[in-house]
Structure 1
Amino acid sequence: MRRHHLLLLGILTLTPSKVLAVPTYTITDLGTLPGGDFSIGSGINARGQVTGRSNIAGSIPHAFLWDPVAGMRDLLPVDEPASPSSASVGNGINDNGQVTGWAGDLGVEHAFLWDPVAGIRDLGTLSGEAASYGNGINDSGQVTGTSPIVAGPFSFNSRAFLWDSATGMQDLGTLGGVESRGNSINDNGQVTGSSEIEFIGPTHAFLWDPTTGMRDLGTLPGEGNSEGNGINDSSQVTGTSGGHAFLWDPVTDMQDLGTLGGTFSVGNGINDSGQVTGQSTTADGADRAFVWDGTGLFNLNDLIPPGSGWTLQGGNGINDAGQITGTGIDPGGQTNAFLLTPVTVAEVPEPGTLALIAVGGIGLGLVRHRRRQNA
């Protein structure tokens, strides 16, 4: 074999195929409702619509729906006849623009379902008394959350529920204790949340299935507690255990997602690609929003335009397009909801690959030079 063939073979052999992804995001300030100075984005759907809460004059929180075209809308204005409540919060939104959360005065809050056409619907409670809170909603309009049941005179135990327009509110039970809460629901009707595993005992994340019931997802090794906060249509769950964010998978079980250098992290939202967003402390104890993409945990503040003036403190929801909502401090020092939209990811060769490509170019140049000399 000729030497220039060996040179080319060596170049091709040494050149690695791996490329590095460089994710970046644009940032949109979702603002506040009129008179407010604070907002949090809690959930996001496939259309980039966001729900959460914003205070209004008097520091009263109101649930909102933010739309890329229409901006922020108060879902429960105080002058709306169907909503005499003084406060409300939006927690979950589906791809039809339906929102769930809670509304009411202190101590008498009720879970609601808000629909763009039908408006607001009170979902009631499990016991007919006390309160209820809607936390997650799927594309069928099923809602999960928590509502107390009567445990005795003046005594209540909180329970995870599943609400359906046909069957009403269903108690999902527990893992052996007396209390549970539902946090998120997927399009298969599966619910995740947390439950006591014994009376006044540790709480574990669960996966509730309409057919098989409630399954204990366990904890990270050596930890006593866990909670599931988000679930996707592949039954993957994210949450926290022992102060660390986790990803639970039906095949690979529970994986520790680590931190941004600090001691605490929590996974809040997950999309159908298995990307997770949440919050983590850094080495200096600061709260920062993160995204986990299967290769590692990334500080979202490092992935937005330099000089934006934003400090992203927590990610709460992520859709299948990779858009993220959460809360942060805007350039004016106000805590506001944000929307991150990923810029087309550039595939950039690793530095070592660039060097080898350069060597390859030199080698090819030498081969061509020799060919010209021998011609």
Structure 2
Amino acid sequence: MRTSSKISRLILSAALALPGAAALADPLYALTLLGGTGSSASDINRWGDVVGSITSAGVTHGFVNAGGTYTDLGTLGGTNSSANAINDYGQIVGGSDNGAGQFHAFSYAVGKMSDLGTLGGDRSEAFGINNHGVIVGDALNGDPATMGFAQAFRYSGGTMTDLGTLPGGLGSTAYAINNKGMIGGSSFEGPFTVPEYPFHAVTFSGGTAHSIGASDLGDSAIYGLNDDGLAVGGIPMSTMIHASHAFLYDHGTITDLGILDPAQDDSIAWDINNLKQIVGSAAVTIDPDHYGYHGFLWTGAGLVDLNTLIDPASGWVITSANGINDAQQIAATACYGGVFGDCRAVRLDLISAVPEPGSWAMLALGLGLVGVLKRARPVCRMPA
């Protein structure tokens, strides 16, 4: 862990933990619009490059905004595509129509989109990629015995490998992979029964899935991993739909991260960085624009509504936070003008803050060090 990361982590955590942190004289984060109307953000790499999807006139395309330049990724020959993840080398993964009535996982690098194929069926999608170029996702295998459920896969060196399921499970999905090769996701656990929710948060290794011990009350999944093996996602709190809580899984221990609104029993964590900072979305009641969900940040002192950390005069409402890097930049989706207004992909950048009261002035000085200590971006080279 770099010294700059240690300093910025300690300062931000202190600012959020102190009384009155929700009422800052100046915002902690600056908001930058990255995509056009109808866009949403999915992931961010260490350089602040953000990927996501944009929908216009009923057509959806994946995009990347890198260094301030917006690029439409196109498709594999069909109509629609979505970009789900990006690594530090600028490699992007997602899914796309292929022009033959199928939806396939893709990788995108140096201006070229490549079809990753399937496990034998007619659909696949990639959800994660690490800095070694290893890709994870799910795909149909064409076996009637799986009853149409997708199977988690790992893709490396041109080969797609089935990662397996929990015992008796019909299907699984891999959502995340870290730079050490740890894979997280969810798996069906048999037998198939209705109306139970049989998907469980798992890690994958040795050709099978391993449960992390989440509740059997409903669906659970791992959506984000950091390089220390910490995992985040959502776990069920009751058998009711939309009653899950964001969680942190730390080498055998599951911690409930809670909710933003006591009247709304629903939250989910999408990503975690190597500073153990977590982002996600949570249901809210006091929501004049009726979006229903707000993006949150967790640094160890509970969930914090990201809308309390940006300039309220902007008019934008952060409805979901989907990715966070070690520079504490956040890939999010923000909306303006109510449910019939404009939603766009945004990036939140940590800035100097002057919290109340004025005796916190040293916090502002420390936050300023974040920008000073950042290293210049080198020329990107693809991994071997």
Scaled by the length of structure 2, the TM-score of the pair is 0.77
2:22 matched to 1:26?
Answer: no
Q: Which 10-residue stretch deviates more, 258-267 or 327-336?
A: 327-336
Q: Quick one: distance in 1 between partners of 2:267 and 2:165?
A: 25
Q: CA RMSD in A?
A: 2.6
Give the gaps of 5 or more residues in structure 2. Answer: 1-12, 22-26, 237-243, 361-384
**1:67-146 to 2 correspondence within 5 Å?**
67-70=66-69, 72-76=70-74, 83-104=76-97, 108-116=102-110, 119-127=112-120, 129-146=121-138
Match in the other structure for 2:331: 325
2:60 matched to 1:65?
Answer: no
Q: Quick one: distance in 1 between partners of 2:319 and 2:161?
A: 35
Q: Quick one: distance in 2 between partners of 1:329 and 1:180?
A: 32
2:209 to 187, 205, 214: 214
1:190-243 Cα deviation digits (max 9, x unpaired)? 11110012222621101124x6853211215x7443111111111111110111
Counterpart residue identity of residue 328, structure 2 = G
2:189 matched to 1:197?
Answer: yes
Counterpart residue identity of residue 28, structure 2 = T
Give the gaps of 5 or more residues in structure 1. Answer: 1-17, 78-82, 353-375
**Could you say what secondary structure the match of 2:185 adopts?**
strand
Match in the other structure for 2:176: 184
Counterpart residue identity of residue 161, structure 2 = Q
Match in the other structure for 2:373: none
**Could you say what secondary structure the match of 2:34 adopts?**
strand
2:166 matched to 1:175?
Answer: yes
Match in the other structure for 1:55: 55
Q: Does the C-alpha gap of structure 1 residues 106 and 276 become closer, same or farther in structure 2, counting only changes over 3 Å?
A: farther
Q: Quick one: distance in 2 between partners of 1:244 and 1:350?
A: 36
The structural deviation recorded for 1:282 is 1.7
Q: Does the C-alpha gap of structure 1 residues 346 and 294 become closer, same or farther in structure 2, counting only changes over 3 Å?
A: farther
Q: Does the C-alpha gap of structure 1 residues 346 and 327 become closer, same or farther in structure 2, counting only changes over 3 Å?
A: same
The structural deviation recorded for 1:69 is 3.0
Contact 2:164 2:207 in 1 (8 A): no
1:7-37 Cα deviation digits (max 9, x unpaired)? xxxxxxxxxxx964457100001132xxxx3
Q: Quick one: distance in 1 between partners of 2:358 and 2:161?
A: 53
**1:229-268 to 2 correspondence within 5 Å?**
229-242=223-236, 243-250=244-251, 253-261=253-261, 262-268=264-270
**Could you say what secondary structure the match of 1:307 adopts?**
helix
Q: Does the C-alpha gap of structure 1 residues 303 and 19 become closer, same or farther in structure 2, counting only changes over 3 Å?
A: closer
Q: Quick one: distance in 1 between partners of 2:74 and 2:96?
A: 8
Contact 2:146 2:170 in 1 (8 A): no
Match in the other structure for 1:343: 351
Q: Quick one: distance in 2 between partners of 1:199 and 1:173?
A: 16
Contact 1:151 1:157 in 2 (8 A): no
Q: Number of matched residues?
A: 318
Q: Does the C-alpha gap of structure 1 residues 146 and 107 become closer, same or farther in structure 2, counting only changes over 3 Å?
A: farther
**Could you say what secondary structure the match of 2:143 adopts?**
strand
Counterpart residue identity of residue 115, structure 1 = A
**Could you say what secondary structure the match of 1:156 adopts?**
coil
Q: Quick one: distance in 2 between partners of 1:308 and 1:322?
A: 21
1:259-293 Cα deviation digits (max 9, x unpaired)? 10121000011111111111101244721000111
1:104-156 Cα deviation digits (max 9, x unpaired)? 15950000000025x111000011x3110011111111111110122328953
The structural deviation recorded for 1:257 is 0.5
1:281-332 Cα deviation digits (max 9, x unpaired)? 1244721000111111000000001211101100111111111112121369
Match in the other structure for 1:271: 273
- What is the aligned-residue identity percentage? 33
Contact 2:165 2:208 in 1 (8 A): no
Q: Does the C-alpha gap of structure 1 residues 248 and 107 become closer, same or farther in structure 2, counting only changes over 3 Å?
A: farther
The structural deviation recorded for 1:351 is 8.4
Counterpart residue identity of residue 166, structure 2 = L
**Could you say what secondary structure the match of 1:42 adopts?**
strand
Q: Quick one: distance in 2 between partners of 1:190 and 1:318?
A: 18
Q: Which 10-residue stretch deviates more, 146-155 or 188-197?
A: 146-155
Q: Quick one: distance in 1 between partners of 2:78 and 2:189?
A: 35
1:70-105 Cα deviation digits (max 9, x unpaired)? 2x110116xxxxx32211000000000110000115
The structural deviation recorded for 1:336 is 0.7
Q: Quick one: distance in 1 between partners of 2:207 and 2:164?
A: 13
Q: Quick one: distance in 2 between partners of 1:214 and 1:188?
A: 17
Q: Does the C-alpha gap of structure 1 residues 231 and 348 become closer, same or farther in structure 2, counting only changes over 3 Å?
A: same
The structural deviation recorded for 1:337 is 0.7
Larger Rg: 1
**Could you say what secondary structure the match of 1:187 adopts?**
coil
Q: Quick one: distance in 1 between partners of 2:100 and 2:311?
A: 41
